[in-house]
Amino acid sequence: MKALSLTAEWAPKAGYDLTAAERAIRRARNGNMVWKAPQLNLVDAPDPSLQPDQVMLEIAAVGICGSDMHMYEAGADGYMLYPGLVCTPNILGHEFAGRVIEVGKAVKDLHVGDLVAVEEIQWCGLCNACRRGFVNHCLDIEELGFTIPGAMAQYLPVRARYCWKLDEVAERYGEAEALVMGAMVEPTGVSYQGLFNRLRNWQPGNNVVIFGAGPIGLAAQALVIAAGAGQVITFDPSASRRAVADAMGASISLDPSAIDLDAAILQHTFGRGVDYVVECAGFADKTIEKLDRCLAVNASIIDIGMGADNPTMPIVAYKRMGVQYAGSLGHAGGPFQQVIRMMAAGRIDMRQMVSARLPLSDGVTAFKRLESRQDAKIILMPNAG
């Protein structure tokens, strides 16, 4: 089968404290500290085999994520940008949907022909974190497209328990479009987890600031609008991405470069300040860190974007204003079901952010195109024509 494979050189930086597990299996906790000179190529990969608790998927649609780009891109020192768990060589792709073409003998609730979206986080269900319900923070985690083969390939076997059926979306939009929407359940689920599951204090009428008009930020924007937000202010330096944010219903979209963020937010919230800040850009040191007087009393800050640099928080301001800060990771544990229901009901339509649908053979070119960050979302179609 055809697949997009990421390779890199194992070259731990001087002073980086490798664990025994990292040495043994070369699964880096911090990819940007270990993997050098990443390369992406279209390859012929062996056809995968099926385990009893798995289904085989014919991949219909897979999105290119900011994390995929950060594994593909290198900094000035030649090391990949992504700061999380990474193994190479590996097939990328974790935002995807597909059609079941084979069912393992232990699988009971999925059948050949079913359309499914799949969780990227492969939680174990046995560790202390999973048993307490914190599956996004599984202590024995594997991640599709990061540590084990992902969906930028024609076929992928996945455990049935990570699959969510798209029946109701297909009934509304037809199977082809349901599969494209299914590829965007994962990034939308990431935003859903941060917005509604981390602090559980969302209220309709909240004034919201979103940093980043990439897929996660645009998903956050769509979700808060559907959930009854007040003013929704989206920041992104890309004019084309701001245009997408405007088309998807932002109250206003602004370029954060060279402006006073506090002053701009106060102006566009009529002096009342922001109730919910959602960081989706991965540059908290340039976004969250800059906010002070624009924070409303009891404001919440949800930090979703994965960046390598740590911000310095204005803790005194947080105490004075009663601000809650929450980091958020992942999408497992319920968001898939909720996102699929919202899509099926027509409350959110993430296809509005898709700028291109391309065959897998154009995958390397698509990554190159995304270096400019002008596209909001490119969908690859591994089995198209």
CATH superfamily assigned to domain 2-186+331-381:
Medium-chain alcohol dehydrogenases, catalytic domain (3.90.180.10)
The fraction of the chain above a pLDDT of 70, given in percent, is 99
Question: The domain at 199-327 falls in which architecture?
Answer: 3-Layer(aba) Sandwich (3.40)
Residue 137, pLDDT > 70, answer yes
Residue 307 has pLDDT above 90, yes or no: no
pLDDT digit string, tens, across residues 221-265: 999 999 999 999 999 999 999 999 999 999 999 999 989 999 999
**In the structure encoding, which two tokens stand for residue 379, read together?**
């969908």
85 pLDDT band (50/70/90 cuts)? very high
Q: Per-residue pLDDT averaged across 212-217, rounded?
A: 93
Residue 128's pLDDT band (cuts 50, 70, 90): very high
Return the minimum-mean-pLDDT range out of 39-53, 164-178, 298-312: 298-312
Q: How far apart are CA 368 and CA 355, in angstroms?
A: 15
**Domain residue extents for the chain:** 2-186+331-381, 199-327
Question: Confidence class of residue 207 from pLDDT cuts 50, 70 and 90?
Answer: very high
The pLDDT tens digits of the residues spanning 50-59 come to: 999 999 999 9
Average pLDDT, the chain: 95
In this predicted structure, what is the pLDDT of residue 198? 94
User: Whole-model pTM?
Assistant: 0.93
User: Over the stretch 140-154, which tens digit does the pLDDT of each residue have?
Assistant: 999 999 999 999 999
Most confident of the ranges 11-20, 150-159, 302-311? 150-159
Cα torsion 343, 348, 352, 358 to 10°: value is: -30
Per residue in 17-40, pLDDT (tens digit) is 898 888 888 888 899 999 999 999
Residues 12-23 pLDDT 10s: 999 998 988 888
> Quick one: pLDDT at residue 75?
93
If pLDDT is split at 50, 70 and 90, which confidence band does 308 have?
A: low
